[in-house]
Every structure is written in structure tokens, then in C-alpha cells.
A and B are shown apart, each in its own frame.
Chain A
Amino acid sequence: MDNMTLIAIASIVTAGLTIALGSIGPALGEGRAVATALSSLAQQPDAATTITRTLFVGLAMIESIAIYCFVVSMILIFANPFWNHVIAQTAEK
């Protein structure tokens, strides 16, 4: 296998794996966060605004991990420097 094929395979497989594995953790974390928020809302309904706001802030923090994985995966597919380098090399030939 030459360089080009190897880089293509590695990029595609890694992009898929990154987003697949990277969304498991945040999804589980967000599920737990929402569950706890709902049970504390049921226990103290008059603290609803504080709980909701804290829930949203916490969810955004957890979500950002999944966003990091997504950004890496997008870079591998669309703005891959190794792929661009190899394409430029074959275009020169």
C-alpha cells in the first residue's frame, strides 16, 4: 500500500472511531445530570429556576467534550493536512 492509501484509510477509520467513542461518555454523563436535576426538581419545585440554570450550564460543559471529538473528526475528513500534502505531492508529479 502506498502512502496515499495508508493516509486515507487511517483518516477515515480514525474519524469514525473518534466520533463514535467520543459521544458515549458525554451522553451517559448528560443522562445522569438530567436525571438528578429532575429528581431534585421534584423534591424542591420552588428552586426551579436555579436548578434549571445550573442544569443548562452543566450540560454545556459536558457537551463540549463531545464537540471537541466532533471537531477533530471534521478536521480529519475535511481539512486534513496530511491528505492535502499527499494530494499536492501527486499533483506535482
Chain B
Amino acid sequence: MRLSPDEMIFWQHGFLKLNGTIVFTWGLMLVLAVGSKLITRKLSTDLKRSRWENLLEIVVTGIEKQIEDVGLRHPKRYIGFLGTLFLFVALASLCTVIPGYEPPTGSLSTTAALALCVLVAVPFFGIEEQGLGGYLKSYVEPTVIMLPFNIISELSRTLALAVRLFGNMMSWTMILAILLTITPFIFPIVMSALGLLTGMVQAYIFSILAAVYIAAATRGRKSKPEPDAKH
């Protein structure tokens, strides 16, 4: 019983292994990059535009509005990072309809990498907005005694992000595999539709949580009307 796409090995040469995670991740990156390059070759601002361009515009303006709702004031600065996170995770779980495909986010290495990106991005955006001194000062708020707790909460948030995404993706593929051996036809299809829904929700959750952490870092930890998502 395969626990993750890490164990699907396509090609091996001594030390280097080309396993399922790497192949599927690069496939997704290729689809995203080539697709968007092809669609944005001829952009038009009048009413006559191609369907794909329309689709991309819906997606981009939707993400921008969500980022603005969370409380980040200049969404154009952050949409590169947050939009890519959302699109990658959403496409990774959407492609499970293709037979033979395993989502690369079902492997702890991919989700840990994404969570580490968020861990690096939060201080980066915080320092960009508030300056180094201002950002470091936010760690000792409200008192100096809270300094170790703030640091621990940063690390545990990252861990929670990684394990949440990994657990959700891995559990759905495993449930599907187990069901296929027990009940034949219809029930696994229903469960796979549920797995698709969960994958989309998890993609949304991942990027919204990243946006909330960045908003907390760029606004200071004092007045936050948004859900303070600390574990």
C-alpha cells in the first residue's frame, strides 16, 4: 500500500531517483507556465476576447478580491506569491481525474517545501513593509516574556500548514485505494468527487492562511479584526 508518490520510482541511476513526486510536480509547473504564456500572448482590453483569457481574468480578479478582504492593502504586491500557491495546490488536486496521476501534495516533502516558502515569505513581506526594527519589535509585543512563545507559534504554524495539506491529500488517495479493493464501481467515484472538493477547499485554506499570516506580519500584531490563526 503506497503511502505517497515518493515511492513511485520511474527511473533510477545510483544516487539520483526520479520519483512520482518530482515528475508530477514538474508536469504541473509545465502546464501552468506554458498555459499562461500561451494565453497571455495576445491580451485585449475591448469586449472581444478569447475564452481562456476570460477564465484567467476571473481567476486573477477573484484572488485579488480575496486578498483584499483578508486585510492586505496592496494586493498586487502579494498576488504573485499567494496566487501561485493557490493555483499550484488547486491544479495538483484537480488533476486527480487523470488516471495514473497521484497529487504531489500527497507527499510530505512537497507540502513541507510549500510551508517553508510561507515561513520565509512572512518575515520577507513584514520587513519590506515595516522595516527590520519594526518587524523584530513585533515579536516582543505585548511583553518581552512572550518572545519564545511568538517564535514557537511561528514554527508551529508552519508545521501545521505542512501536515494539514499532506494529511488531507494523502488520506483521500488512500481512502480511494482502499475503497477500490472493497466495493466496486459507484462508491469510489462518489468518494473521489468528495476528494476533489476537499482538495479545492484545502488549496483555498492554504493560501488564505498564508495571506492572514502575511497580513499579521505587515500590520503589526496589535489590532487585528481578522481571525488570528495562531495554533
> Which residues of chain A have a CB within 8 Å of any CB of chain B?
49-50, 53-54, 56-58, 60-61, 63-64, 67-68, 70-71, 74, 78-79
**Given A60-B201, A64-B160, A78-B1, CB of A54 within 8 Å of CB of B167:** no
14 intermolecular pairs with C-beta atoms under 8 Å apart? A53-B66, A54-B227, A57-B205, A57-B229, A60-B202, A60-B205, A61-B229, A64-B160, A64-B167, A67-B164, A70-B167, A71-B167, A74-B3, A74-B171
Cβ-defined contact, A71 with B163, below 8 A: yes
Q: Could you tell me the distance in whole angstroms from the C-beta of A86 to the nearest C-beta in chain B?
A: 18
**Given A53-B208, A57-B227, A78-B1, CB of A67 within 8 Å of CB of B163:** yes
Cβ-defined contact, B171 with A67, below 8 A: yes
Residues of B within 8 A of A58 (CB): 227
Cβ-defined contact, A56 with B167, below 8 A: no
19 more A-B contacts (CB under 8 A) besides A57-B212, A61-B229, A61-B231? A49-B69, A50-B69, A53-B208, A54-B227, A56-B201, A57-B227, A57-B229, A60-B202, A60-B209, A64-B160, A67-B164, A67-B168, A67-B171, A68-B163, A71-B170, A71-B171, A74-B171, A74-B174, A78-B1
Bound Cα distance A56, B164 (Å): 14
Cβ-defined contact, A70 with B171, below 8 A: yes
User: Which of A49, A50, A53, A78 gathers most chain B CB within 10 Å?
Assistant: A53
Q: Which residue of B is nearest A77, CB measured?
A: B1
B24 CB–A CB distance under 8 Å: no
Question: Contact string, B171-211, partner A, CB cutoff 8 A, digits 1/0?
Answer: 10010000000000000000000000000011011001100
Residues of B within 8 A of A63 (CB): 164, 168
Q: Which residue of B is nearest A72, CB measured?
A: B167
Number of B interface residues, CB 8 Å?
A: 23
Bound Cα distance A61, B163 (Å): 11
Q: Which residue of B is nearest A70, CB measured?
A: B171
Q: Could you tell me the distance in whole angstroms from the C-beta of A91 to the nearest C-beta in chain B?
A: 19
Residues of B within 8 A of A70 (CB): 167, 171
Cβ-defined contact, A67 with B167, below 8 A: yes
Q: Could you tell me the distance in whole angstroms from the C-beta of B176 to the nearest C-beta in chain A?
A: 14
Q: Which residue of A is nearest B1, CB measured?
A: A78
Bound Cα distance A78, B69 (Å): 42
Bound Cα distance A18, B75 (Å): 42
Bound Cα distance A71, B167 (Å): 6
Q: Could you tell me the distance in whole angstroms from the C-beta of B77 to the nearest C-beta in chain A?
A: 21
**Given A57-B208, A57-B209, CB of A64 within 8 Å of CB of B163:** yes
Q: Could you tell me the distance in whole angstroms from the C-beta of B165 to the nearest C-beta in chain A?
A: 9
Q: Which residue of A is nearest B164, CB measured?
A: A64
Q: Could you tell me the distance in whole angstroms from the C-beta of A38 to the nearest C-beta in chain B?
A: 17
Bound Cα distance A79, B107 (Å): 14
Residues of B within 8 A of A68 (CB): 163, 167
Residues of A within 8 A of B66 (CB): 53
Cβ-defined contact, A78 with B3, below 8 A: yes
Q: Could you tell me the distance in whole angstroms from the C-beta of A23 to the nearest C-beta in chain B?
A: 12
